[in-house]
Structure 1
Amino acid sequence: MSAIDQYLNDHPETRQRMRRQSPLDVLLAKDNDAVIELAELDPTVRASLFDQVKRESSHVTGDLYNCTAWAWRILGRMSDGSLKTMCAEPGKIVRCVAQQEISRRAKRQPQADERPPAPNVTDPNSASSAEPPNGADLLDEVLAFCKQFIAYPDTDSSIAHTLWIAHAWLVDLLFTTPRLAFVSPEKRSGKTRAQEVTAQLVPNPVNVVSVSPAYLYRRIQEKPDGMLPVIELDETDALFTGRPSETTEQIRGIINAGYRQGATVGRAEATKNGEVKTVDFPVFAAVCLAGIGNMPDTIADRAIIIHMKRRRPDYTLTPYRDRTVRRQAKPLRTRLAAWAQAQRGALAAYTDDDYPQMPDEIQDRDADVWEPLFIIAQIAGGHWPQLVSDTAIRIIHKQHEEPQSIGERLLKDIRTVFDDHTAIYRSDLIEQLKRIEGAPWRTLGKSGDGIDSWYLTKTLKQYDIAKDYGGRAHSIRIGGMPHDWGYYKSDFQDAWTRYLPAEDTPSANSVTPVTPETPDIAPADPARVTPVTTVTHFSEGVHHVPQGAKASCNEPEELDF
């Protein structure tokens, strides 16, 4: 029986902790405490353990350096006495690493007369300051630091970015984490620079361009110093543009689900003894994205989007050099860590009554996205709670002005075509949609011929348009024109109210029911009315009925105005 087996037989609680794990597995930080326990208590066990680690690591990687790096993670936590004992071990790698650790510790211990003075608690850059930094002042400094290198499109964007950076230090105590997305219509608009500056101020940044789903959810499991990593994914246009693939859909799913605590990716993995076990990988982590064009609809719905613009020639920024900025950012980063650490106890004890009240304009998914930044502003205090309240409302309004999906874009453009008219033929509606500049309707479809009646019907049916007619266009008559397939404005009213911004949605009172007659003068004098007998046309020959004009349908009894 080996020394390891003998020790584990004498310590069943340790065997339980190390069950099904080889010493190499343990050394890879799956159970560091068990290794410490073994290494501290029995030199014979220690020698046998690391000797086996050396054999296994050489077999797995063939790289002595990797084995050394793994050993450092354990030896760095051993006592000085244990390290001296390790220097006498027969294993070359263990002896070498232990000697290096002893030398490193000796260099880090200055003589009594050489030791630096005690830290000044009033020094804001002192990591060991007795008093944590003032939150509001600290966020002001982060804001000023970022503005040196980033040409924000507006002040709201810089405020949101600053709060997002601060929230990354406390994200493990929050229930959601918004995705931060830097987007622009063209390259050289400062998206990557914004990510680079962000990486200088957040814990454990992971800057990647091309990833696999497996890398992404496994990388999130690595938490140096117990802090969740911040994933920074650049060039998202290369990832999400074009026909979705299985890989891109899995990555999108991880990003979407990982904005909320408790989300996991389920996998079945084979163990060394041939068994298959199910594994749940948590995917909750802060994510910062950057790319040309818009983000996928589902990601944008969980994101704070900053629309970057190319910097004007007369707008100057501080030159960015990573080596210089890294040094400049270090004190600020240290103070962020100290401030966040000081707030952990209070935030962990939050009850429902402690969370900040969101403005009435922020509801549902928007509230989930913005609540973490409201919490950070509340903890920081000062002027930041009012800043985030005003900023969030403006950014949300701006994001909702733009349709979040192709279906919402279609509803919005149809509303534009209708304008103040009451009815329109389907063929005329399609023609007018194709004439909207910048809209996709002219070239939509595999053939590139643009939107057609089949696509129109299929898309509108999802929103219960003309639901009394099975979601299809129905026979209508406008003025003296012949019957043809088309829509009334009332067919869209419910969908416009539900899916388009409320402030831009025509009120129910603005849609005049189709009636045989309409007043030709002010409503105060109902005695004078003039029947409408003429047909008015859209420009380019699109037929419509003005507000209150006569329109007929072959099944008027089924209409509900």
Structure 2
Amino acid sequence: MIRPASHEHMSGPAEGTTVSDGAQAPLVFAWSVLSSTRHVVELSRGDTVIYSDTLNLLSAKHRERFAAALHAKTKEPPARLQAQLLRLANEVHRYLASGDDGPSADKRQGLQGTALEITPPEPWSQPVELIDALNDFADLLRRHVVMGQAETVACVLWTAFTHAVDSFDVAGYLVVQSPTRRCGKTTLARLSAAAACKPLYAASVAPAALFRVIEKAKPAFFLDECDAYLAGNEELRGLLNAGVTRDEAYVVRCVGDDFEPRKFSVFGPKLLAGIGRLPPTVEDRAFIVRLQRRAKGEKIDRLTRASLAQAGEIGRRFYRWYLDHRGEIQADADPPIPESLNDRQGDVWRPLLVLADAAGGPWPELARRAAVALSAEGVDTDELPIRFLADAAAALQGYDEISAADLAERLGADVESPWATYARGKPISPEQVGRLLGRFGIKPTKRHGRRTYEVGEIAAACERYCPKTGEVTAPTAPDDPSPNAAMTYEGAVGAVGGSKAEATAPHLSPNAAMSYGDGGSRGSKWQGVRQEKRLFDGLDGLASAMEGAK
């Protein structure tokens, strides 16, 4: 074990890895941690230290240089040394993620339940192309769940994001909804959890357990059946509302016999699955995936242990890619974002767009199509005040001013609107109209002996809070829920931060630059592949197109 240096902030446990060298004593690797990015690695044979240096084990480039230096000292094959260093990197990452200072010393007795074991997966043994892992997971999801193109893209990128969350400051939620049972929510959640990093799957969670588990283990939470326990649980909803932005995702609680105030993190990726809608404040921070029950004639595969094992292997590939490329991801990356997304939607989609750009191929375009399809800003009819503004503006076409009584009469005349029964089964009253308009700062003025509202003020508020759906430049995407139908994409991305031909990806390393003029090309392998792109079950066609473009 390496003795801690005098300037060491924390030291790792006694971890060692050996490399056999014929008849000689085995080579032993050992490590200690100075900080999250500075690790001391020592190679010894018996009692003799052969080589020791400080590096960032989590960086593929650092490991490669260190392996070259070790090769010069020991003549061991570089590939073999790099494999050993990768194992050390995984141990260091597990140690940093656990927040532990070594083996637990308090084995308390009498505790109910089972201890939580939340650890990242074993990284894949070979370097990974992110685009291949994304494609394979998309195909796996489509074979087991009836879902559309945009929903699949969002689920795949979000699952990959759980491995890279340490590189970002915003973690949007994946909300999986259905109108009724047996629509595939649990199947989707289980597949995503199997491929995620440090998943914690639960059918219920108490608010105190949520923030304590996140503070200790920083898992990716998978909360199923949340329609059964989230409604009316204001404390849990408040924690979920706060858990999206890293710098703001804290709650303060008094702990211990002295009631010492301590802060607990609630930041991290979370999947919420349930029947029906969630509170608007939660959905506003999420990617909304709506599932439908499979129709007669639509065939999907049954979820088996083999399917979950396949998802787990894809998760290992996601994790290996992140370990090798985490140094290339910038926390303040600002990729082109579709103009139809509002500020919060842009924030939660930004990490997924960064990963899509890193993957290249059709994924930059697919990700932006999905963002527009799932999150494009329109009238939020779930909030009655905003619905009121939208309906009032529609009812006032051709008017310059109107009284509260006249507006109430026009709104109440629509028997299919909520205003026909807004007042306990009766049409909305003029007083209620006045109160709803007052929430937006719209006040009446006295003119010609009566109090009226300026239609221009109502229209201005409507434009601010509920943009016209006709202004949303969402591209038309295929709406074919059949899991066996090949998805094709061709043409422009839509309104993506200006000109698609000039949009670049400056948030990536210079060696991985890409542009959207060719669908997000990454290197010569993708140059010219602008023809019809096939994903999901049409992956064979895409592979053929790639081979032809080489």
Structure-1-length-normalised TM-score: 0.60
- 1:387-442 Cα deviation digits (max 9, x unpaired): 21232223322x52443522111111222323445454533433443454553334
Corresponding residue of 1:110:
none
**Preserved CA contact (<8 Å) 1:263 1:283:** no
Alignment of 1:186 onto 2:167: no
| Residue 314 to residue 439, structure 1, CA distance change in 2 (3 Å) | farther
Equivalent of 2:259, from 276, 298, 305? Answer: 276
Corresponding residue of 2:166:
172
Alignment of 1:495 onto 2:461: yes
SS in 2 for 1:305: strand
Corresponding residue of 2:224:
234
SS in 2 for 1:187: coil
Equivalent of 1:388, from 360, 364, 367? Answer: 367
Higher Rg of the two aligned structures: 1
* Cα drift, residue 210 of structure 1: 2.8
* Cα drift, residue 171 of structure 1: 0.8
Equivalent of 1:418, from 376, 392, 396? Answer: 396
| Residue 157 to residue 31, structure 1, CA distance change in 2 (3 Å) | closer
Aligned residues: 374
| Residue 268 to residue 297, structure 1, CA distance change in 2 (3 Å) | closer
| Residue 385 to residue 486, structure 1, CA distance change in 2 (3 Å) | same
**Preserved CA contact (<8 Å) 1:127 1:338:** yes
| 1:42-441 correspondence to structure 2 within 5 Å | 53=106, 57-58=108-109, 61=110, 127-129=124-126, 132-152=127-147, 154-223=148-217, 228-241=218-231, 244=232, 248-271=233-256, 274-321=257-304, 323-347=305-329, 350=330, 355-397=334-376, 400-403=378-381, 405-436=383-414, 438-441=416-419
- Distance (whole Å) between structure 2 residues aligned to residue 327 and residue 316 of structure 1: 21
* Cα drift, residue 265 of structure 1: 3.6
Q: Which has the higher contact order (CA 8 A, sep 6+)?
A: 2
Equivalent of 2:440, from 463, 480, 487? Answer: 463
Corresponding residue of 1:89:
none
**Preserved CA contact (<8 Å) 1:209 1:235:** yes
- Distance (whole Å) between structure 2 residues aligned to residue 177 and residue 31 of structure 1: 24
SS in 1 for 2:163: coil
- 1:509-543 Cα deviation digits (max 9, x unpaired): xxxxxxxxxxxxxxxxxxxxxxxxxxxxxxxxxxx
* Structure 1 runs of 4+ with >6 Å offset: none
SS in 1 for 2:246: coil
SS in 1 for 2:287: strand
- Distance (whole Å) between structure 2 residues aligned to residue 457 and residue 485 of structure 1: 11
| Residue 151 to residue 437, structure 1, CA distance change in 2 (3 Å) | farther
Letter in 2 for 1:255: L
* Cα drift, residue 165 of structure 1: 0.9
**Preserved CA contact (<8 Å) 1:300 1:404:** no
* Cα drift, residue 499 of structure 1: 0.8
Stretches of structure 2 that go unaligned for 5 or more consecutive residues are 1-8, 11-97, 473-550
**Preserved CA contact (<8 Å) 1:262 1:282:** no
- Distance (whole Å) between structure 2 residues aligned to residue 126 and residue 30 of structure 1: 20
> Percent same amino acid among aligned pairs?
28
SS in 1 for 2:247: coil
Q: Compare the two structures and name the one with the higher helix fraction.
A: 1
- Distance (whole Å) between structure 2 residues aligned to residue 389 and residue 488 of structure 1: 39
**Preserved CA contact (<8 Å) 2:167 2:331:** no
* Cα drift, residue 351 of structure 1: 7.2
| Residue 126 to residue 408, structure 1, CA distance change in 2 (3 Å) | closer
**Preserved CA contact (<8 Å) 1:180 1:287:** yes
**Preserved CA contact (<8 Å) 1:177 1:369:** yes
**Preserved CA contact (<8 Å) 1:301 1:404:** no
SS in 2 for 1:279: strand
Alignment of 1:453 onto 2:465: no
- Distance (whole Å) between structure 2 residues aligned to residue 30 and residue 386 of structure 1: 38
Q: Root-mean-square deviation (CA), in Å?
A: 3.3
